[in-house]
A and B are shown apart, each in its own frame.
Chain A
């Protein structure tokens, strides 16, 4: 019998639309707030209106007496619940006791003080207005530099210096480098506090079945398994009796890479009242109580030779931590220090972090988490050095990259950059904008009085978190692949995609490896009772770590399929391809579906082989992956109003092999949008009393579809040895590369007025003043 081996079309590398989208765009997806249960109650949380206050007394009676209110809990009721966990450890780290409800004191506006539980959400909301709290307001401090001044109000009375930790790192001989430098450039650079503002706020449904001692927690989270482990500990539950389900998650950006007081609190409430309970965060609460990002004040110094060769880098980093440590709060600035040399050959570096308590909501990971701050700093500094040396900023950058042959490249901060050709994306971006022509156009524009600028940034990203010893939790990821008896394929990933599209990209990978149709594959995630333990989705890691885990699980499964194929084809010369096994001698074939059926029916088994077709792989990466790239921005400042117009936006990324270009473009676009937000308009502003004055969308300015520039994307591909798929992460790259390119372009537009640096956000009034005052802020 003649056999044609039909090679299935390869899906990896194709622009395939997301399998997730139909349910999302038709409104049939299930978010936490869509969950209804018989007997479900509703919780509402009373929060501190003060930045700092002593609680003299709380009277819950007027609330508890309302019809429909079943319980009110305050700090003294939750003594048995463990503290909100901090997963980061640093030498000498001061960790404030972080109970899930305030006890005798509140530390920031929004601090949870009491929870009211009622038969519907309206009664619960009304009930918290009836709880009487007698506060004695105390002096608060919101500015991290002011918090460090002697005599500043102590956020935690036990630590009057407001210092949670200091952290020192150095490499090479920084003092010598600065002594020998021909030029030293210094600048204070801030990265303002930002509100992650996912479209879906947080939410929790808790369902406790006392007969089985089982708690099911539905939560809008990026880390279902870690959440289960940590909340079970907080509540004193057996971990195997707790189940976390992550329904659809409407955006996280790091803000849901956390364990929040409310997640344990709802578990506690459900156990107390014996009924399911739901809490949905309001938008106002999201501003006040979900972690913020950034919050840096950085003092940079660069040492260099007159020819542009960089020698040394010094950084004093003041991190606004807020009032508590959330899951990774103190670790975030250490990532900035690791990445502070950027892509350049700084052999001598010295950095000191001061982690500062303030009466504000904690900061933690927000898209890029430490790397946007580092990139913003070094890329601004490279421009300042170029300005000082009157060198072209592109030329200065190209001069200081490690060469292609220097990889793996060991940085002065101790990282091993796996692979790279850092000049390649920059050169490509320069070509895309026709750089020399563009500079001429700028000269002409400036001669006519127009304020046109060109901004360049290059960036490296530490991603694919990561080897386990270098991460607070495990750094591996897991995958299970099952071929069901009918031949349909189920993939269980330990990652927890929430918009990144792994239901599609992982199906592409599995389809190619097994030679089956993508439609025959389903990718499941986000349920701890269905999926083997996993770490989650954050730090641009899902495809870069979860992808290889899937790849290896598929190899194990293919080996088993082959054994069944050999048995069923009665041959030891069998190839598996295109969804079937083929006997190379006779040309006889057998479909995977038949093999699957036979493996489960198990009338006969290959030697030393168990029934069924399932494989699980836990993959530990040998190193982080370091994608890189370059962004170029052309902007023009309106002389009369100070408004910035982004005229061109070019983003070239090297994340090596691309599984789905459509999704990579989407990640770059979304990342750039959030970078533009920081560069141009977003800022979480606390006043002196630690009141958040940009506490709603009427005052907190997000970028809008109508204000987005057209983004021209490009890619270079530099092979990476880190994993078998040759993939690096891309989820944060757009954000990391963006803000310095924008600010560099605007400073470039105003540099002839004497402007050297402008802190973000670049509001029109700020720029108008600079223009009017001839560069003097």
Chain B
């Protein structure tokens, strides 16, 4: 399990990092939870690895009142680890869904090292974060030596292991809304028994008002080549009273029209069915937490 020879740089500033990747042929290393195993198996053989771990700017987790979302936003530096997000008092109070998703990733060792920027940029179709980020309608802040841009998560993730990231571009931060008071949330996951990745994972956010469900967001990971928002489910549940029957009826649409993955651990059929089951579970818990 020894990778091929590669050049290694560990810049200490974002500017320096951007200059290094602008030369081309560089692979960016964040937490390394995906890149390092791929390199050890020699399935990836980058000539140059640019390690971002010494760039302090990329680790910041902070709130911005007038940011990207009307109710305020949390800015999560690309190098914030899963553990930092899971345990951050700020994230837990202002965007508890994201903390819950983070706490479901891999195992303790992975959460101590893996990062939100690395996971998002890798776009593994079975990763946990994308379900949460879809449900949160998160934004991805990208930067190059020449400028910055911000993309909604559903435009950033293009397909399995494929994103809108340009070769000379870095994920700088992930931006999520400060959660509106009373929003219920839940992340429910069927874990692959070996890797801990999601066979399916469903993140839900709901709001109720006067006995009606007024707002539903559902993000699904694991089922398809890329995580997606289950908009049919959202529309079916909005306006109902959120009864068990309403939930079942809406959740039944969670896998409609989706080309499902299949592998040793779960057939396409099982994945579809589990998507419905876990959508119902996520919605049920989210509704029970909403007030």
Contact = CB atoms under 8 A, between A and B. Distances in A.
Interface of A: 121-122, 125-126, 129, 282-284, 640-641, 643, 680-681, 685, 693-694, 696-702, 704, 706, 763-765, 768-769
Contact of B2 (A125, A699, A764): A125
Interface stretch (B11-19, B54-62, B264-272): B264-272
* 9 cross-chain pairs, A with B, having the tightest CB-CB distances, nearest first: A701-B193, A701-B194, A125-B2, A698-B195, A282-B1, A765-B270, A640-B277, A681-B193, A699-B194
Nearest to A280: B1
Contact of A284 (B4, B41, B195, B274): B41
A641 B274 contact: yes
Interface in B180-229: 190, 192-195
B190 A698 contact: no
Interface string B149-161: 0000000000000
A446 B238 CA distance: 36
A641 B5 CA distance: 45
Given A694-B194, A764-B190, A765-B270, 17 more contacts: A122-B2, A129-B4, A284-B1, A641-B190, A680-B193, A681-B193, A681-B194, A685-B264, A694-B264, A697-B194, A698-B195, A699-B265, A700-B194, A701-B192, A701-B193, A702-B194, A768-B270
B29 to A, nearest CB: 18
Name the residue in B1, B42, B107, B192 with the highest tally of chain A Cβ atoms < 10 Å from its Cβ: B1
A763 B266 CA distance: 9
15 contacts: A125-B2, A126-B5, A129-B4, A284-B1, A284-B41, A640-B277, A643-B190, A680-B193, A699-B195, A701-B192, A701-B194, A763-B193, A764-B190, A765-B266, A769-B270
Contacts of A641: 190, 274, 277
A746 to B, nearest CB: 16
Contacts of A696: 41
A769 B270 CA distance: 8
A192 to B, nearest CB: 13
Name the residue in B1, B194, B265 with the highest tally of chain A Cβ atoms < 10 Å from its Cβ: B194
A764 B266 CA distance: 9
B168 interface: no
Given A122-B2, A126-B5, A768-B273, A693 B264 contact: yes
Name the residue in A680, A698, A765 with the highest tally of chain B Cβ atoms < 10 Å from its Cβ: A765
Contacts of A283: 1
Nearest to A681: B193
A641 to B, nearest CB: 6
B18 to A, nearest CB: 30
Contacts of B265: 699, 763, 765
Nearest to A125: B2
B270 A699 contact: no
B264 A699 contact: yes
Contacts of A706: 107
Nearest to B197: A698
Interface in B262-291: 264-267, 270, 273-274, 277
A693 B194 CA distance: 13
A764 B274 CA distance: 11
Name the residue in A129, A284, A641 with the highest tally of chain B Cβ atoms < 10 Å from its Cβ: A641
Contacts of B1: 282-284
A678 B96 CA distance: 37
Interface residues of B, number: 21
B11 to A, nearest CB: 24
A110 to B, nearest CB: 14
A700 B274 CA distance: 21
Contacts of A697: 194-195
Nearest to A283: B1
A694 B194 CA distance: 10
Nearest to A282: B1
A701 B37 CA distance: 17
B251 to A, nearest CB: 11
A640 B70 CA distance: 39
A289 B194 CA distance: 20
Contact of B4 (A126, A765, A768): A126
Contacts of A693: 264
B2 A765 contact: no
A317 to B, nearest CB: 27
B206 to A, nearest CB: 21
A596 B193 CA distance: 58
A577 B270 CA distance: 69
Contacts of A680: 193
Name the residue in B1, B193, B195, B267 with the highest tally of chain A Cβ atoms < 10 Å from its Cβ: B193
A768 B265 CA distance: 13
A772 to B, nearest CB: 8
A612 B220 CA distance: 76
Nearest to A201: B1
Nearest to A122: B2
Name the residue in A681, A685, A693, A701 with the highest tally of chain B Cβ atoms < 10 Å from its Cβ: A701
A640 B278 CA distance: 9
A696 B190 CA distance: 20
Interface in B14-46: 37, 41-42
A765 B267 contact: yes
A126 B4 CA distance: 7
A122 B5 contact: yes
Name the residue in A282, A284, A699 with the highest tally of chain B Cβ atoms < 10 Å from its Cβ: A699
A283 B1 CA distance: 7
Contacts of B41: 284, 696
A694 B37 CA distance: 16
A704 B106 CA distance: 12
A699 B194 CA distance: 5
Given A693-B264, A765-B266, A768-B270, A698 B194 contact: yes
Nearest to B41: A284
Nearest to A705: B107
A508 to B, nearest CB: 35
A701 B5 CA distance: 31
Contacts of B195: 697-699
A200 to B, nearest CB: 14
A704 B192 CA distance: 12
Contacts of B42: 129
A703 to B, nearest CB: 9
A699 B192 CA distance: 8
A764 B199 CA distance: 11
Contacts of B2: 121-122, 125, 282
Nearest to A761: B193
A699 B264 CA distance: 8
Contacts of B273: 768
Nearest to B267: A765
Nearest to B4: A126
A572 B190 CA distance: 76
A212 B38 CA distance: 45
Nearest to A694: B264
Contacts of B274: 641
A439 B291 CA distance: 42
A694 B192 CA distance: 13
A733 to B, nearest CB: 25
Contacts of B37: 698
A452 B264 CA distance: 27
Contacts of A685: 264
Contacts of A704: 107
Interface in B56-75: none
Contacts of A765: 265-267, 270
Contacts of A763: 193, 265
B123 to A, nearest CB: 17
A693 B263 CA distance: 10
Contacts of B190: 641, 643, 764
Contacts of A698: 37, 194-195
A121 B5 CA distance: 12
A708 B107 CA distance: 15
Contacts of B5: 122, 126
A704 B190 CA distance: 16
B70 to A, nearest CB: 38
